[in-house]
A and B are shown apart, each in its own frame.
Chain A
Amino acid sequence: MNYGYFPGCSLHATAKEFNDSTKLVCDKLDLELKEIDKWICCGATPAHTTNQELGIALPFANLQLAADQGFDTVVAPCAACFNRLRSADFEVKHSGYTAERVGYITGSRTDINVRILHIIQLFRDEYGYSRLKEVFSKPLKGLKVANYYGCLLLRPSLVMKLDDPENPVIMDELTNLTGAESVPWAFKTECCGASLAIPETEIVLDLSKKIIDSAKNAGADVIAVACPLCHANLDMRQKQIGKKFGADYSTPVLYITQLLGLALGIDPSKLGLDSHLVDPYPVLRAKNIL
């Protein structure tokens, strides 16, 4: 079975290590990802908050591409893309009016049936925890992980249908399978401010600080994420946060796929561990993982 892979814009730029680690992990698990040809940007938040039709048509056009190219399942690692794909599919399926407009805008049929999975769902629902447990060769013993779900992955829960919106467990379950220990903490579903990072940087610095503080207070060595926006705000902005609040901020932020990759024994530099702005190597070495 092969899956239509929708990397999204970030995974080809600032989040390239998410792309690399996703592909390497899937390779190792024999999950065949095939990039959808000529995919386009989902429009993210700017599209649906500017023009509703555009906000639905852009992601839906990708589902149409996937269907045309023979995929019955689309896998997206980016939480924002996943959210927009699911939302567009939901809106089109639940409103004949919307379906008609989207059909007109995209110039293509809307009666398509494509499953949309987030990459972590692929591991949970398609590959399965029991098989996963067997293939992990290098347990991440002793590593305490704060799993950060953020907002777009889970909400609106009626549409995302991924996990409980208040107390999600999927990332924690995956983390625990690797032998690492997921810590309970309060901010796992808070929002980091997402795309406000550029126009309203100060807000995002405040929000991200609270999230990192909460993870640190819970005793986490690293934060795991499943969204390039979360990663951008938490990892790339830590130096700015430290400056703003006059403290040292150096909590590594890893993609969940990187954790899984490490547990599968994949070379850390191939997983893109070198490309984070907060260097994760010291922590991982201290824990005897590297």
Chain B
Amino acid sequence: MHITLNLSSGAFAGEIKDISGANVFDCYQCGKCAAGCTVGGYIDDTPTKVIRFIQLNQRDKALDSRTPFLCAACNTCSERCPMEIDVAKIMESVRILALKEKRKPERDVAVFSELFLGSVKTTGRLFELGLTAGFNLMSGQPVKDAELGARLFRKGKIAIKPAMSGNKNVKQIFDKSEAVSGSSSKEEKAEH
């Protein structure tokens, strides 16, 4: 691995700070987040390393890392960070940026989120069966968890029809969130 450092070294850290509020330069790379990470055994870069990439302005390396996508958002890292850095929020910010730029280092997780939110946007509530079936189709594993599904069905735990919230505001919340999120810029934030 090779890294070339240049003048604009704080730029990416600034982007992350705008979204998460966290200053990555507070991190002294102690590794406590890596040590306790729930998915530590499955990620390519430890959270510590992702933060290091941000400190060194390595935008691509951070945004293409699978780690922020595999993050279970369990907050163990943030809870125990000796420098009180919200590590989970930094992971979340990297993921948001990666999704915005259509990077999907961990496609399945991205697809799951998309389907989940799609379901909520349509009816206001999550339709679990639709989500699972949709995911299996999109991820090319149509019979995944089929046996489990059948058992749940027998237990009466699977709703066949989507639940309706009857709330007419949902679509607006999604659309406006999308719009606002796209428009967020540093200057706008600085004003507030």
Chain A positions within 8 Å of B, measured between CB atoms, are 9-10, 12-16, 38-41, 43-54, 57-58, 61, 65, 96-97, 100-101, 104-107, 150-152, 155-157, 165, 190-191, 193-196, 198-201, 203, 206-207, 236-237, 239-240, 274-277
Instruction: Write the nearest CB–CB distance from A70 to chain B, whole angstroms.
Output: 17
Instruction: Write the nearest CB–CB distance from A63 to chain B, whole angstroms.
Output: 13
For residue B72, which residues in chain A have a CB less than 8 angstroms away from its CB? 45, 151, 191, 193-196
**Quick one: closest A residue to B188, CB to CB?**
A97
Chain B positions within 8 Å of A, measured between CB atoms, are 19, 38-39, 41-42, 70-76, 78-79, 86, 92, 95-96, 99, 106, 108-109, 111-114, 116-117, 120, 124-126, 128, 131-132, 135, 139, 144-145, 148, 151-152, 155-159, 163, 165-167, 169-170, 172-174, 176-178, 180-181, 189, 192
Known: A53-B181, A156-B78, A199-B108. 7 other contacts (CB 8 A): A40-B125, A41-B165, A105-B172, A193-B72, A236-B148, A239-B148, A277-B152
Contact at B169–A195, with CB atoms within 8 Å? Answer: no
Contact at B180–A53, with CB atoms within 8 Å? Answer: yes
Task: With a 10 A CB-CB cut-off, give which of A155, A199, A276 has the most chain B CB atoms.
Answer: A199
Instruction: Write the nearest CB–CB distance from B124 to chain A, whole angstroms.
Output: 4
- Assembly CA distance A201 to B149 (angstroms): 14
Instruction: Write the nearest CB–CB distance from A132 to chain B, whole angstroms.
Output: 29
**Quick one: closest A residue to B68, CB to CB?**
A49
- Assembly CA distance A100 to B79 (angstroms): 28
Instruction: Write the nearest CB–CB distance from B148 to chain A, whole angstroms.
Output: 6
Contact at A52–B135, with CB atoms within 8 Å? Answer: no
- Assembly CA distance A212 to B164 (angstroms): 35
Instruction: Write the nearest CB–CB distance from B155 to chain A, whole angstroms.
Output: 5
For residue B156, which residues in chain A have a CB less than 8 angstroms away from its CB? 16, 275
Contact at B177–A203, with CB atoms within 8 Å? Answer: no
Task: With a 10 A CB-CB cut-off, give which of A45, A107, A150, A237 has the most chain B CB atoms.
Answer: A45
Instruction: Write the nearest CB–CB distance from A249 to chain B, whole angstroms.
Output: 14
Q: Which of B41, B139, B157, B159 is A275 in contact with, Cβ under 8 Å?
A: B157
Closest 9 CB pairs of A and B: A191-B74, A151-B74, A155-B75, A46-B113, A97-B192, A54-B177, A9-B126, A199-B108, A191-B38
Q: Which of B74, B135, B158, B181 is A155 in contact with, Cβ under 8 Å?
A: B74
Interface residues of chain B: helix, strand, loop or mixed (majority): helix
Contact at A195–B181, with CB atoms within 8 Å? Answer: no
Contact at A151–B75, with CB atoms within 8 Å? Answer: yes
Q: Which of B39, B95, B125, B174 is A196 in contact with, Cβ under 8 Å?
A: B39
A-B contact pairs, 8 of them (CB 8 A): A38-B166, A40-B124, A41-B124, A41-B126, A49-B113, A61-B167, A105-B176, A199-B112
Decide: A201 near B96, CB < 8 A? Known: A49-B113, A196-B109. no
Contact at A104–B176, with CB atoms within 8 Å? Answer: yes
Decide: A155 near B177, CB < 8 A? Known: A41-B125, A106-B169. no
For residue B108, which residues in chain A have a CB less than 8 angstroms away from its CB? 199-200
For residue B157, which residues in chain A have a CB less than 8 angstroms away from its CB? 13-16, 275
**Quick one: closest A residue to B92, CB to CB?**
A49
- Assembly CA distance A47 to B96 (angstroms): 10
- Assembly CA distance A58 to B187 (angstroms): 26
For residue A13, which residues in chain B have a CB less than 8 angstroms away from its CB? 126, 128, 157-159, 163
Contact at A151–B76, with CB atoms within 8 Å? Answer: yes
Decide: A236 near B152, CB < 8 A? Known: A13-B159, A190-B38. yes
Contact at B132–A198, with CB atoms within 8 Å? Answer: yes
- Assembly CA distance A237 to B147 (angstroms): 11
Contact at A40–B167, with CB atoms within 8 Å? Answer: yes
Q: Which of B41, B106, B152, B192 is A14 in contact with, Cβ under 8 Å?
A: B152
Instruction: Write the nearest CB–CB distance from B68 to chain A, whole angstroms.
Output: 8
Contact at B192–A193, with CB atoms within 8 Å? Answer: no
- Assembly CA distance A14 to B78 (angstroms): 30
For residue B92, which residues in chain A have a CB less than 8 angstroms away from its CB? 48-49, 52
